[in-house]
Amino acid sequence: MAFLLAITAIVITAIPARSATLNLVGFGDSLMAGYQLPPEDAFPARLEKALRAKGHDVTIANAGVSGDTTSGGLARIDWSVPDGTKGVILELGANDALRGIAPEESRKNLIAMIEKLKSRGIPVLLVGMLAPPNMGDDYAGRFNPIYPELAKAYGTELYPFFLDGVVENAKLKIEDGMHPNGDGIGVMVERFLPVAERFVQSLSTGG
């Protein structure tokens, strides 16, 4: 009997424990929320599906709010990111640029959000935006460097431009010419996926 118990203990020990599901939050504006798209076509849902297809046990909650600015995000980040969240995809700033909000203000708000999450032990994947051309070179020169500089300063994963591959293709946007359609979301997810995988793997290993 003792022999059988010992063998059983060895077998049980040899079976790897199943890793817990990684609960992520996609925190952003209408680009994250999925403006005029069904919930299953929004970026968080499509990215979750793509990551699961790659073998990653993740969920991605959609905490996107249309029209949100970095100021609005800062005001709600404490209650929009629940306890138990293992990582946040932070995408804000597009509406700041469209409204001509001072880039210094956007930077300050993004720093505050990153630090709030850091204080809770929640890593960030920072999603960059670019100022629209009509804002001029001076504005772009102050706005565009925010994301790479903060990613470097805080050691966060960075995706340089959320609308990469979509912004100049009208066929990938809805009628307003600004927001991605379902096909556009598909392009965004495809390009975003390698960075998302790197982020998820770092969370899984505690790196």
Query: Quick one: DSSP state of residue 39?
Result: G
Mean pLDDT of 169-173: 97
Amino acid present at 27 = F
CATH code reported for the domain at 21-205:
3.40.50.1110
Amino acid present at 206 = G
Angle between helices 146-154 and 103-119 (to 10 degrees): 30
Angle ∠(196,48,82) on CA atoms, nearest 5? 90
pLDDT for 123 beyond 70: yes
Alpha-carbon distances of 28 from 6, 11, 81, rounded to whole Å = 53, 46, 11
Q: Say if residues 189 and 157 touch (Cβ distance below 8 Å).
A: no
Mean pLDDT of 144-163: 98
pLDDT of residue 19: 64
Amino acid present at 2 = A
Mean model confidence pLDDT for the chain: 92
Mean pLDDT of 153-174: 97
pLDDT of residue 95: 98
Q: Spot the catalytic one: 19, 164, 179, 183.
A: 179
Q: Spot the catalytic one: 19, 83, 119, 176.
A: 176
pLDDT for 18 beyond 80: no
Name, in order, each residue with C-beta under 8 angstroms of 183's C-beta and a sequence gap of 6 or more. 171, 172
Q: How far apart are CA 73 and CA 55, in angstroms?
A: 31
Q: How far apart are CA 135 and CA 68, in angstroms?
A: 19
Mean pLDDT of 16-44: 90
The number of C-alpha atoms within 13 Å of 175 and in the hemisphere containing its C-beta is 1
Confidence tier at 10 by pLDDT (50, 70, 90) = very low
pLDDT for 5 beyond 70: no
Please give the helix or strand (H or E) that residue 59 lies within, else none.
strand 58-64
Mean pLDDT of 121-143: 97
pLDDT of residue 20: 85
Q: At which residue do the structure tokens 């300063």 appear?
A: 153
Active site residue 66: no
Name, in order, each residue with C-beta under 8 angstroms of 18's C-beta and a sequence gap of 6 or more. none
% residues pLDDT > 70 (the chain):
90
Active site residue 176: yes
| Predicted model pTM | 0.90
**For 47-99, how does the pLDDT look when each residue is reduced to its tens digit (9 = 90+)?**
999 999 999 999 999 999 999 999 999 999 999 999 999 999 999 999 999 99
Active site residue 30: yes
Q: At which residue do the structure tokens 């409204």 appear?
A: 99
pLDDT of residue 1: 52
pLDDT for 4 beyond 70: no
Per the structure block, which two tokens stand in for 30?
């209408």
Q: Spot the catalytic one: 29, 30, 56, 68.
A: 30
Radius of gyration of the chain (CA): 20
Q: How far apart are CA 19 and CA 6, in angstroms?
A: 25
% residues pLDDT > 90 (the chain):
88
Q: How far apart are CA 32 and CA 179, in angstroms?
A: 10
